[in-house]
C-alpha cells in the first residue's frame, strides 16, 4: 500500500478544507471562547458536520456511517487542527465510535452507532485519575452489587465530559491500582444523578470535566468489552485517539508554520525582510523538515489502524510522540519568530501554542510514549 | 498472468538459479561491495559468479537501455527486480559512482557517442569513476571553483587541485568541474569534463581523517592535456562548454537521493535494536529495564525519529511515483539522514563508555565503533553540509527571501 492519500481521501481533504475555512475558521473559535459559550462548541456547526457524514466517519455503512476509516478521521482532524475547530468530533466520533464499533455487543452497536452518526449523542472517555496520563493506574472502583456492579470514584480531564450524553468509564473490577488486568469499561448515561460533573475550562479554550461518581448501579448490559479485560479495549481506543490527535497536531503544526513563513516574508527590520536572515532560515528549514517527518508518521499510524487495528498500538505511540514534539516546536517557534506580537492575544499563533500543549498532555506526551516504546522493546 | 506477474516469476526463477548463497547476506558495505575497475580483483568466487551472471542479463544497470549495457527495464520491472532481490537478501552485483552518479548524468546530458564510450564500460565493471568537485577554496561555495581549463585547439589544458575525491587513488576516470571562463558570473563559466586518471600530470595523495584513514584524496592537475576528440567527436565535455553547472546540479540530486536512502540511525553494521544493545552492555535495573533512564529516553526518541525518517523516504518516493517530483525535498532527507547517522554512532559510543574510547595496540587503528563514530562526523559535511541543505530548503522549498 502506498503511503499517500487515495483519490477519495484527497477529495475528503479538499471538502474539509473548504468547509472549515469557510464555516469554522479561527475567528469562529475566538467567538466561542469570547462569548464564554458553555458548550465550548457550536451545535449548529456540529449538526452540519454530522449531515456531511463526519460524525460517523469511521462507522461502517451498515450502521449509517460513511466508513472512511481512520485515515478519513485523520484527514478531517488535520484540517480541524489547521483551523482550531472546536467540536465533539474527537470524543464522540473517534473515541466513542471506536469503543462501540470495535468492542460493543451487537445490541450496543444497534443502540449507539446510529446516534453517533447523526450527531445526536455525545460521548466522552473517562480514563485518567490525576494530572498525568497513566492508563494502567485505575482506582475508580466497580464493586459487585446484586447482578451487576456499583461504581464509585473520580476521573479528571474528561474531554467533553461536561456536554456528553454517554460516558465510557474505565473502572477497576479486580487487581491492584497499577495492574493492567482487572480493568473493565462501563458505558453509562452521563446525566445519572449519582454522577457529579464539574466543568473544567482548559487553557486551549476547549472544555473538559472532572467527574465524581458515587454509588452508580450498573448491570452486565452496561459493560463494554470483557470483564477484567477492559485494558485491551482501552488500549485500542487510546491508540485510535493518539493517531487522530497526531493528525490534529500535524495540522496545527502546518498552519502555525504557514502563518510564520508568511510573516518572515513580509516583516522588515534592519531594512530587510527578516526571512532573509540565516538565523531564522535554518530554524524554519529544520521545522519544515520535522513537519514532513510528522506527516509520514501520522499517515502510517492511521493506515495501520485501518489495515490491522490490533497491531497498531506501538505505531500510534510513535506517531503521537513525533507529532507532539513537532507541534510543540512549531508553535514555540511561531511565537518566537513573530516577536512581540507573537505573545499578544490578538495574534493566532498563541492559540495554536495553547491547543498543542493540551493535545500533547492528552493520552501521553512524547516522553510518555518514548518510555512506553522502550519498555515494549525490552529496555 | 499479466506481463508484470510473468516478469516477477521469471526474475524469481532467475535469481534462484543465478545468485550464489554467499551473496544472499544483504550485507553491502564499502568493504565488501563489488566496485569494479581496472584494479579490481574479486573478493570471492561467488562474488565473481554473481557479477558475471548479472552482467550477462544486463542487471548490473537494469534500467539503462540495452545498447548501453543495461536490460532496458521499465520502472515497474526495476521495482520488481529490487523487491525480488531484497526478498532473498541479495547484494547488488556491482555498485559504484559510475552507476549511481555519472551514468544518470550521461543519460540525461551525454551524446550518443559519449554514452557508447562510457556507459558500457561502467555496466561491465571495467572502469571505476571518481568525482572531482570540491577544491581547497571551494567547499560549500562549490561554484567558486578555480581549477583552470584552457582551450588549446586540439586539447584542453588543465591546472589546479581537487579535494575530497573519494577513492581517486584506485579510480580509473574522473568526472570533473573545471573553470573555462574566469570572467563570466561564477555559475556560468564552469564545464563538466571527463578525464582518464592515467593521463600525464595527474597525481593523487590520500587524506587521513580523524578516524585514522579514509577513502578521500587530494587530486592535483599539473599541465594535464585532455584530448578534445577521440576520433571525430569531442567526447570530453558533457553538456555545453560553460554550462557544466546544470549537469552538476542534476548529479547532486542523484547524490543526495543516494545518501538519503541509507538506514541512518543504526548504520549498515549497527545492532538491530539499540536499546537491547544498551541493556546488554550496561545492564538492567530491578524491573528488568535498561539501567540508565536518561539513555533510555534518548535512544527511544532517536528510534522514533529514525522510524519517521524511513517512512518519509517511503512517502516521498510514493509521491514522486504519483507524479509529484521529489525536488528540493531531497535536501530534507539528506539533512535528517546525516544527523541521525551521527546520533546513532554517538549513542553507541555513549553506551560503550571508555571501552570504545581506548586506542588499540598498534596506536593508530581505533576499534570499529570509534572508527565509525569518527568517520560519521563527515556525513553532515560531504555531499553538501547540513547548513547548505538548510539553505536549499529555505530557498527552494520555503521560498524565503534572499539577503
Give the nearest partner residue to B308 out of A296, A371, A375, using CB atoms: A296
- Interval A313-320 mean pLDDT: 97
> CB atoms < 10 A from the CB of B330, how many?
24
Give tens-digit pLDDT for B215-236: 899 999 999 999 987 655 678 9
The whole-number pLDDT of residue B260 equals 45
pLDDT above 60 for A331: yes
Instruction: Count the domains in chain B.
Output: 3
Residues B58 and B134 in one domain: no
Pairing of strands A123-126, A166-172: parallel
Give the nearest partner residue to B297 out of A273, A318, A371, using CB atoms: A371
- CA dihedral angle for residue A297, residue A303, residue A307, residue A311, rounded to 10 degrees: 30
Q: Domain span at residue A203?
A: 124-229
- Interval A3-21 mean pLDDT: 97
Rounded CA separation A280/A274 (Å):
8
**Of the candidate ranges A83-97, A258-272, A286-300, B237-251, the one whose mean pLDDT is the lowest:** B237-251
Give tens-digit pLDDT for A231-254: 999 999 999 999 999 999 999 999
The whole-number pLDDT of residue B261 equals 47
pLDDT above 80 for B191: yes
**Of the candidate ranges A152-161, A276-285, B83-92, the one whose mean pLDDT is the lowest:** B83-92
Rounded CA separation B175/A143 (Å):
79
CATH number at residue B153: 2.40.110.10
Residues B135 and B88 in one domain: no
- Beta-carbon separation of B290 and A374 below 8 A: yes
Three-state DSSP string of B251-297: HHHHHHHHHHCCCCCCCCCCCCCHHHHHHHHHCECCCCCECCHHHHH
In terms of CA atoms, which chain B residue is nearest residue A3?
B315
Grid cell for residue A9: 481521501
Per residue in B131-164, is it b (16+ CB within 10 Å) or e — as a string? bbbbbeebbeebbebebebeeeeeebbbbbbbbb
Q: What single-letter DSSP state applies at residue B243?
A: B
Chain A residues with CB-CB distance to B275 below 8 A: 374, 377-379
Chain A residues with CB-CB distance to B318 below 8 A: 2-4
Residues A116 and A155 in one domain: no
Cβ contacts of A165 within 8 Å, gap of 6 or more = A121, A122, A123, A189, A190, A191
> CB atoms < 10 A from the CB of A192, how many?
14
Query: For chain B, how many residues are written?
Result: 403
pLDDT above 60 for B366: no
Q: Is residue A139 part of a domain?
A: yes
Q: What single-letter DSSP state applies at residue B397?
A: I
pTM exceeds 0.80? yes
Q: Is residue A354 part of a domain?
A: yes
The whole-number pLDDT of residue B256 equals 58
Residues B148 and B37 in one domain: no
- Interval B264-287 mean pLDDT: 85
Residues A249 and A370 in one domain: yes
- Interval A174-181 mean pLDDT: 93
- Beta-carbon separation of A278 and B403 below 8 A: yes
pLDDT band at B27 (very low <50, low <70, confident <90, very high): low
> CB atoms < 10 A from the CB of B66, how many?
10
The β-bridge partners of A201 are A207
Give tens-digit pLDDT for A27-51: 999 999 999 999 999 999 999 999 9
Contact criterion met (CB below 8 Å) for A107 and A35:
no
Chain A residues with CB-CB distance to B308 below 8 A: 293-294, 296-297, 318, 322
- Beta-carbon separation of B401 and A375 below 8 A: no
- Beta-carbon separation of A284 and B400 below 8 A: yes
B255 noted as active-site residue = yes
pLDDT above 50 for A118: yes
The whole-number pLDDT of residue B257 equals 54
- Beta-carbon separation of A371 and B300 below 8 A: yes
The whole-number pLDDT of residue B107 equals 93
The whole-number pLDDT of residue B363 equals 52
Q: Is residue B124 part of a domain?
A: no
Grid cell for residue A29: 473559535
Contact criterion met (CB below 8 Å) for B341 and B306:
no
Measured CA angle at B388 (ends B386, B394), to 5 deg: 105
Residues A110 and A160 in one domain: no
Q: Is residue A2 part of a domain?
A: no
- Beta-carbon separation of B311 and A276 below 8 A: no
The whole-number pLDDT of residue B86 equals 84
| A contact residues 236-295, partner B, Cβ 8 Å cutoff | 261, 264-265, 272-273, 275-278, 281-282, 284-286, 288-289, 292-295
Cβ contacts of B19 within 8 Å, gap of 6 or more = B50, B53, B85, B88, B90
Measured CA angle at A37 (ends A36, A42), to 5 deg: 145
The one catalytic residue in B135, B255, B281, B365 is B255
Closest CA to B371 of B348, B396, B401: B348
Residues B295 and B222 in one domain: no
CATH number at residue B60: 1.10.540
CA distance A348 to chain B (A): 21
Q: Is residue B331 part of a domain?
A: yes
The whole-number pLDDT of residue B249 equals 83
pLDDT band at B365 (very low <50, low <70, confident <90, very high): very low
Residues A366 and A255 in one domain: yes
pLDDT, chain A, mean: 97
CA distance A242 to chain B (A): 15
Give tens-digit pLDDT for B119-174: 999 999 999 999 999 999 999 899 999 999 999 988 999 999 999 999 999 999 99
In terms of CA atoms, which chain B residue is nearest residue A294?
B308
Chain B residues with CB-CB distance to A367 below 8 A: 297
Rounded CA separation B147/B185 (Å):
15
| A contact residues 17-36, partner B, Cβ 8 Å cutoff | none
Contact criterion met (CB below 8 Å) for A72 and A16:
no
CB pairs under 8 A between A and B: 133
CA distance B386 to chain A (A): 10
pLDDT band at B364 (very low <50, low <70, confident <90, very high): very low
Residues B193 and B229 in one domain: yes
Q: Domain span at residue B295?
A: 261-397
Q: B151 or B2: which carries more pLDDT confidence?
A: B151
Contact criterion met (CB below 8 Å) for A245 and A359:
yes
Residues A15 and A115 in one domain: yes
Closest CA to B383 of B100, B140, B29: B140
> CB atoms < 10 A from the CB of A279, how many?
7
Q: Is residue B197 part of a domain?
A: yes
Q: Is residue B249 part of a domain?
A: no
Q: Percent of chain B having pLDDT more than 70? A: 92
A10 at interface of B, judged by CB pairs closer than 8 A? no
- Beta-carbon separation of A293 and B290 below 8 A: no
Give the end of a domain, one of B242, B272, B299: B242
Contact criterion met (CB below 8 Å) for A297 and A340:
no
Rounded CA separation B145/B139 (Å):
8
Give tens-digit pLDDT for A204-234: 999 899 999 999 999 999 999 999 999 999 9
pLDDT band at B362 (very low <50, low <70, confident <90, very high): low
Rounded CA separation B336/B312 (Å):
10
Residues A267 and A204 in one domain: no
pLDDT, chain B, mean: 89
- Beta-carbon separation of A285 and B394 below 8 A: yes
Instruction: Count the domains in chain A.
Output: 3
> CB atoms < 10 A from the CB of A71, how many?
25
Residues B276 and B231 in one domain: no
- Beta-carbon separation of B403 and A275 below 8 A: no
Amino acid at each position: 500500500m502506498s503511503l499517500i492519500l487515495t483519490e477519495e481521501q484527497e477529495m475528503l481533504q479538499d471538502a474539509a478544507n473548504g468547509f472549515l475555512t469557510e464555516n469554522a475558521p479561527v475567528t469562529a473559535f475566538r467567538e466561542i471562547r469570547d462569548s464564554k459559550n458553555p458548550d465550548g462548541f457550536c451545535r449548529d456547526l456540529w449538526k452540519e458536520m454530522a449531515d456531511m457524514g463526519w460524525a460517523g466517519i469511521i462507522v461502517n455503512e451498515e450502521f449509517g456511517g460513511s466508513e472512511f476509516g481512520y485515515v478519513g478521521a485523520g484527514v478531517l482532524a488535520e484540517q480541524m487542527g489547521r483551523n482550531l475547530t472546536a467540536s465533539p468530533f474527537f470524543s464522540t466520533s473517534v473515541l466513542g465510535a471506536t469503543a462501540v464499533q470495535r468492542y460493543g455487543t451487537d445490541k450496543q452497536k444497534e443502540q449507539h452507532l446510529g446516534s453517533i452518526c447523526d450527531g445526536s449523542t455525545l460521548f466522552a472517555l473517562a480514563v485518567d485519575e490525576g494530572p498525568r496520563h497513566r492508563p494502567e493506574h485505575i482506582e475508580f472502583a466497580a464493586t459487585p452489587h446484586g447482578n451487576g456492579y456499583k461504581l464509585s470514584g473520580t476521573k479528571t480531564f474528561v474531554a467533553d465530559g461536561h456536554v456528553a450524553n454517554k460516558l465510557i468509564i474505565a473502572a477497576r473490577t479486580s487487581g491492584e491500582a497499577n495492574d493492567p488486568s482487572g480493568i473493565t469499561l462501563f458505558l453509562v448515561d452521563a446525566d445519572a444523578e449519582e454522577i457529579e460533573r464539574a466543568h473544567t475550562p482548559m487553557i486551549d479554550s476547549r472544555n473538559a470535566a472532572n467527574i465524581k461518581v458515587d454509588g452508580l448501579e450498573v448491570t452486565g448490559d452496561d459493560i463494554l468489552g470483557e470483564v477484567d479485560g477492559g485494558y485491551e479495549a482501552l488500549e485500542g481506543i487510546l491508540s485510535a485517539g493518539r493517531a487522530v490527535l497526531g493528525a490534529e497536531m500535524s495540522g496545527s503544526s502546518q498552519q502555525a508554520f504557514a502563518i510564520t513563513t508568511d510573516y518572515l516574508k513580509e516583516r522588515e527590520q534592519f531594512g530587510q525582510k527578516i526571512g532573509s536572515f540565516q538565523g531564522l532560515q535554518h530554524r524554519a528549514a529544520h521545522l519544515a523538515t520535522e513537519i514532513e517527518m510528522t506527516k509520514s508518521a501520522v499517515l502510517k499510524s492511521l493506515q495501520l489502524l485501518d489495515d490491522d487495528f490490533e497491531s497498531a498500538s506501538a505505531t500510534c505511540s510513535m506517531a503521537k510522540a513525533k507529532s507532539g514534539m513537532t507541534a510543540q516546536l512549531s508553535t514555540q517557534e511561531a511565537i518566537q519568530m513573530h516577536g512581540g506580537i507573537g505573545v499578544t492575544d490578538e495574534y493566532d499563533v498563541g492559540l495554536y501554542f495553547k491547543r498543542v500543549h493540551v493535545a500533547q498532555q492528552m493520552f501521553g506526551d512524547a516522553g510518555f510514549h518514548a518510555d512506553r516504546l522502550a519498555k515494549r522493546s525490552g529496555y | 498472468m499479466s506481463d508484470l506477474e510473468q516478469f516477477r516469476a521469471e526474475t524469481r526463477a532467475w535469481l534462484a538459479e543465478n545468485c550464489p548463497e554467499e551473496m544472499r547476506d544483504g550485507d553491502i558495505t564499502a568493504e565488501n561491495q563489488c566496485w569494479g575497475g581496472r584494479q579490481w580483483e574479486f573478493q570471492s568466487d561467488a562474488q565473481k559468479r554473481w557479477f558475471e551472471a548479472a552482467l550477462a542479463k544486463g542487471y548490473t544497470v537494469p534500467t539503462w537501455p540495452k545498447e548501453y549495457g543495461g536490460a532496458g527495464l521499465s520502472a515497474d520491472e526495476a521495482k520488481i527486480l529490487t523487491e525480488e532481490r531484497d526478498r532473498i537478501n541479495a547484494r547488488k552485483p556491482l555498485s559504484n559512482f559510475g552507476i549511481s552518479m555519472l551514468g544518470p548524468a550521461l543519460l540525461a546530458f551525454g551524446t550518443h557517442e559519449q554514452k557508447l564510450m562510457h556507459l558500457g564500460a561502467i555496466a561491465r565493471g571495467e572502469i571505476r569513476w571518481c568525482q572531482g568537485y570540491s577544491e581547497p577554496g571551494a567547499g560549500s561555495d562549490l561554484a567558486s571553483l578555480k581549477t583552470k581549463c584552457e582551450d588549446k585547439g586540439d586539447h584542453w589544458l588543465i591546472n589546479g587541485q581537487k579535494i575530497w575525491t573519494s577513492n581517486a587513488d584506485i579510480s580509473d576516470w574522473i568526472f570533473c568541474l573545471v573553470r573555462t571562463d574566469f570572467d563570466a558570473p561564477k555559475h556560468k563559466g564552469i564545464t563538466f569534463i571527463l578525464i582518464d586518471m592515467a593521463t600525464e600530470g595527474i597525481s593523487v595523495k590520500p587524506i587521513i581523517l580523524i578516524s585514522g584513514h579514509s577513502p578521500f584524496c587530494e587530486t592535483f592537475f599539473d599541465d594535464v592535456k585532455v584530448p578534445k576528440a577521440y576520433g571525430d567527436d569531442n567526447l570530453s565535455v558533457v553538456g555545453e562548454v560553460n554550462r557544466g553547472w546544470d549537469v552538476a546540479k542534476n548529479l547532486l540530486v542523484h547524490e543526495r537521493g543516494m545518501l538519503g536512502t541509507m538506514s541512518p540511525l543504526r548504520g549498515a553494521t549497527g545492532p538491530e535494536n539499540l536499546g537491547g544493545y544498551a541493556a546488554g552492555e550496561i545492564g538492567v535495573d530491578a524491573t528488568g529495564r535498561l539501567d540508565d533512564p536518561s539513555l533510555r529516553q534518548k535512544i527511544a526518541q532517536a528510534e522514533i525519529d529514525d522510524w519517521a525518517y524511513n517512512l518519509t523516504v517511503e512517502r516521498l518516493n510514493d509521491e514522486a511515483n504519483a507524479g509529484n517530483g521529489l525536488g528540493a525535498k531531497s535536501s530534507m532527507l539528506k539533512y535528517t539522514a546525516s544527523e541521525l547517522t551521527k546520533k546513532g554512532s554517538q549513542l553507541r559510543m555513549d553506551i560503550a563508555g571508555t571501552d570504545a574510547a581506548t586506542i588499540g595496540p598498534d596506536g593508530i587503528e581505533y576499534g570499529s565503533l570509534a572508527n565509525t563514530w569518527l568517520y560519521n562526523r563527515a556525513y553532515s559535511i560531504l555531499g553538501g553540509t547540513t547548513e547548505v541543505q538548510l539553505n536549499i530548503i529555505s530557498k527552494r522549498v520555503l521560498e524565503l527571501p534572499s539577503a
